[in-house]
Structure 1
């Protein structure tokens, strides 16, 4: 489990963690730790954004700081995957050609548009949440970051094929057992509901935000699952870029749902 934890933080963040093992069993255990990586990264971003909000920096500045921090803490890895997948899908070419487009180092028009829309949506949603309070915005960051990384459980679930014979996608594809994913999912649901309740405080506000957190989690994972199904049909399986796109899709969708409850 320690090797899996190292693998998770070493591949999903810029935190200085040494990865001692790089094999499929370790990769499977690492994906089970992925939501925890999201909590840690989201917590670091929330400290920055929440601090700016408390110092009267304003909701918009706090939101921009959080989105920028999450990008910096991952070297933009997932954002790059989102842009590459957008280019691959937007090309409307056969799977082999689309995969070559995704592997290219440049970014095309589809990638630029989707990347900008995703970032603008994340900032707008977080600004709305921070407009309610620093606590609501900060929890939204943590919830969205954890939801994004939780989508990797579905992306790497047993039976999910890899589109390429090598690369990160091939290493992690099909490594997560359904039973293990279910246990992690139950823990995540409990944490989301408890965090939403705490963010809202006692009474009906806490209950409303607990429901909002669960809906944000479900919506984020659902949107990522839809993207996964489409990518598997188009490309024949997953790649590291597809997993990155799932993370950003789930993160964005969760933020949109959360901001609707936080602003109510």
Structure 2
């Protein structure tokens, strides 16, 4: 089989079925409410790693104005498609833009910056994290807050399940097609905070025959975000908030 694709690549299945998969993920329960509680009523939000707009649309429904930034064209295309189908009042509160969170160049500031669902953990915890926090500090209004959802190392370091056992199976459509997800490989380098996983996404028809398969690599980097935030001039706001049993939301404020 060819080398694994990166997660969320144009030709992979993780991006194509992102909304379906995240809808089954109990570890994300309550994240939208948490982020909304950090912004003033009618405030402005910058979402880093917006993906298909799952959080952005939900925040806009709560009256917030959201700019969603993502580097993956396949994810942004889905967000834009959904945006075109929304009513004018809601659509007016949401914008999407392609961009790199390690090189923020924005001509506006925000009440809240968020990076949900382990978005920062996709990047090595070094210069990339320093650049992200520097950019976030520059994008925040005085008194504004920033929230980063990061995984806990112990939730990533466990042994991989048997390769033949699906970790998720979900119906795709009324024709009986199903998507199954299998963990092919899992490696942990806890000493440097790097956790690699290779996952097989398998799409089958109603009779169980394979239609398409995509092997994809997902890498997470785990580190304490506080030194990076403090170096950028941000202040920690209390203890991290546990979310879903596998991660925590770290909140910082700009003086």
TM-score higher than 0.5: no
> Which has a greater percent of strand?
2
Larger radius of gyration: 2
> Which has a greater percent of helix?
1
Higher relative contact order (CA closer than 8 Å, sequence separation 6+): 1
Using the size of structure 2 for normalisation, the TM-score is 0.31
Using the size of structure 1 for normalisation, the TM-score is 0.31
